[in-house]
């Protein structure tokens, strides 16, 4: 690990908010500056029985300009199937697919990113070529059958 | 991490780099959660003093309640007229050459100490009203250290945050030329 000053002001700051589900909403429980520590704190919260409704860790990233984004990096619910329905994530947040799921910005963004138009155009072109090939083969077969049957 | 790689070489180095303020939990007191991390133990202590949704009272959660973890603990009175000041500094966090010590203002605490590095984030706890843990690299007693700390809010009888309890531990790290700490 490269040693760096804790005084250095980075262009992006990232904190991890440990939240527990209580009275129908997510409540801030504690804050950490390290993902591993944050998940350990969330796990301890679950094990201690102090978050019967569930617990999650949100990674909150904020730029100097004030823009911020957040993504859920960990979640543990008592019964995930039922809790999924009664505890929808706040708007703009990635929905996890498994209990106690661990994600990060990179993977979350990949999962939710829409496909680019260029990729879609290429896919259409491939489909058109396939159809044309199939029609050509079908026409040749029909012609061959027609000739043989004379 | 280079220091970890070095520590893996010999058992002696491993021992030397261990967190200095980890004190084994006494076996006579059964711990509900035998956490390795000091920050998790302090967080668990803070949660145990919760009264429903009410924040733990400063009059109830005092340093002796930390048991074996009392040495790396400190208290900050944020309501003092002169500004936030220390009301208690555990033995492990004492700054030898600093005349201030207990009752001293946070603003006067040397920054090249774990106490100074960790206590300066006190305002974030007042703003968020929840425990905050922070770690990083800094200097303590002239040596490069990797530290981790936690600050937890404590309330007065009216429910307002009046005191912040902090705890920190650290280990020495190797300093490389060309990568200054400060």
Q: What is the pLDDT of residues B35-92, one digit of tens each?
A: 688 999 999 999 999 877 789 999 999 999 999 999 999 999 999 888 899 999 999 9
Q: Is the pTM of this model over 0.80?
A: no
Secondary structure of B89-153 in HEC code, one letter for each residue = ECHHHCCCCCCCCCCCEHHHCCCCCHHHHHHCCHHHHHHHCCCEEEEEEEEECCEEEEEEEEEEE
Q: How far is B124 from chain A (nearest CA, A)?
A: 10
Number of residue pairs across A and B with CB atoms under 8 Å?
71
How much is the pLDDT for B21? 63
Chain A hits for B1, CB-CB cut-off 8 Å, are 1
Of residues A47 and A141, more confidently modeled: A141
How much is the pLDDT for A94? 44
How much is the pLDDT for A114? 45
Q: Assess if CATH 3.30.450.20 describes domain B38-172.
A: yes
Inter-chain residue contact A33 with B176, CB threshold 8 Å: no
- Determine contact, residues B53/B59, Cβ cutoff 8 Å: no
Helix, strand, or coil (residue A56): strand
Q: Is A91 on the interface with B (CB under 8 A)?
A: no
Chain B hits for A45, CB-CB cut-off 8 Å, are 47
Inter-chain residue contact A31 with B133, CB threshold 8 Å: yes
Given a cut of 50, whether residue B124 has pLDDT beyond it is yes
| pLDDT tens digits for range A20-64 | 998 899 999 999 999 999 999 999 988 888 888 899 999 999 888
Q: What is the mean pLDDT of residues B146-169?
A: 95
Which residues lie closer than 8 Å to A16 by C-beta, 6 or more apart? A31, A32, A33, A34, A35, A37, A38, A57, A58, A59, A60, A73
Inter-chain residue contact B2 with A37, CB threshold 8 Å: no
| pLDDT tens digits for range A66-104 | 888 999 999 998 876 544 444 444 444 444 444 465 666
| pLDDT tens digits for range B24-46 | 555 444 445 466 889 999 999 99
Domain ranges, ordered by start, for chain B: 38-172
């Amino acid at each position: 690990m490269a040693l760096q000053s804790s005084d250095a002001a980075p262009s992006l700051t990232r904190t991890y908010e440990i939240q527990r589900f209580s009275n129908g909403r997510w409540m801030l429980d504690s804050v950490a500056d390290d993902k591993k520590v944050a998940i350990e704190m969330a796990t301890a919260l679950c094990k201690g029985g102090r978050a019967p409704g569930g617990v999650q860790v949100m990674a909150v990233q904020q730029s100097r300009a004030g823009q911020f984004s957040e993504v859920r990096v960990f979640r543990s619910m008592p019964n995930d199937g039922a809790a999924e329905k009664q505890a929808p994530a706040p708007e703009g947040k990635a929905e996890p697919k498994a209990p106690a799921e661990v994600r990060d910005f990179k993977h979350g963004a990949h999962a939710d990113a829409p496909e680019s138009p260029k990729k879609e155009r290429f896919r259409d072109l491939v489909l058109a070529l396939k159809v044309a090939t199939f029609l050509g083969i079908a026409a040749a077969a029909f012609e061959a059958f027609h000739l043989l049957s004379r | 991490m280079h220091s970890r790689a070095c520590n893996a070489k010999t058992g002696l180095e491993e021992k030397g780099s261990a967190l200095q303020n980890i004190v084994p939990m006494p076996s006579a007191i059964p711990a509900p959660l035998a956490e390795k991390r000091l920050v998790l133990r302090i967080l668990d202590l803070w949660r145990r003093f919760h009264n429903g949704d009410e924040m733990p009272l400063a009059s109830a959660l005092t340093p002796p309640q930390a048991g074996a973890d009392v040495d790396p603990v400190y208290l900050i009175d944020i309501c003092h007229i002169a500004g936030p000041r220390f009301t208690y500094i555990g033995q492990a966090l004492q700054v030898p050459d600093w005349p201030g010590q207990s009752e001293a203002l946070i603003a006067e605490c040397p920054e090249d100490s774990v106490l100074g590095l960790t206590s300066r984030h006190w305002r974030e706890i007042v703003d968020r009203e929840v425990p905050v843990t922070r770690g990083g690299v800094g200097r303590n007693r002239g040596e490069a250290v990797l530290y981790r700390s936690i600050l937890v809010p404590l309330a007065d009888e009216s429910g307002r945050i009046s005191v912040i309890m902090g705890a920190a531990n650290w280990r020495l790290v190797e300093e490389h030329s060309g990568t200054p700490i400060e």
